[in-house]
Amino acid sequence: MSGQSPKEIRVEIIYALPEMQTRARVSLPEGSTVAAAIEASGLLQKFPEIDLSKNRLGIYAKLVKVDTPLRDRDRVEIYRPLLADPKEIRKRRAAEGKVMKAGAGAETA
């Protein structure tokens, strides 16, 4: 089998910001990793805030590591850090709801 080139896989890389979503498609040799796909996409140069040691990564919404091997037609997702803790937001909303319920009947004239 000498002389044959390695099989190529096609991968899509997604990075979403609040105001826009960026999508890149790359072809890589079979066995390439998540990190190789992101580097080949050019997104690291376009978005310097992406840090592969800090940003979480996923393939179809399942968390993966940078050294995870890819399969043909995988969709690599680069996640942004959360701006607020979801638990804190739920606590705040629950507290606001209790205040509104307690004060709802107070204004009867």
Contact 57, 76 (CB under 8 A): yes
Domain presence at residue 29: yes
Look at the chain and report how many structural domains it folds into.
1
For residue 11, the tally of other CB atoms under 10 A from its CB is 25
Inside any domain, residue 102: no
User: pLDDT for 2-25, tens place per residue?
Assistant: 555 679 999 999 999 889 999 999
Position 103 in a domain = no
Q: Which of 26, 34, 22, 35 is nearest to 8 (CA)?
A: 26
* Reported confidence tier of residue 102, pLDDT bands at 50, 70, 90: low
Measured CA to CA, the distance from residue 56 to residue 58 in angstroms comes to 7
Would you call 26 exposed, middle or buried from its count of C-beta atoms within 10 A (0-12, 13-18, 19+)? buried
**Domain range for 46:** 8-81
Q: Output the domain CATH number for residue 39.
A: 3.10.20.30
With respect to residue 59, please indicate whether it lies within any of the assigned structural domains: yes
Is the full-model pTM beyond 0.85? no
Residue 2, pLDDT score: 52
The CA distance from 86 to 92, in Å, is 10
Comparing 97 with 27, which gets the higher pLDDT? 27
User: Residue 108: inside a domain, yes or no?
Assistant: no
What proportion of the chain, given as a percentage, has pLDDT over 70? Answer: 80
**pLDDT: is 104 or 96 the higher one?**
96
Amino acid at 54: K
Question: How does the average pLDDT of the chain come out, rounded?
Answer: 86
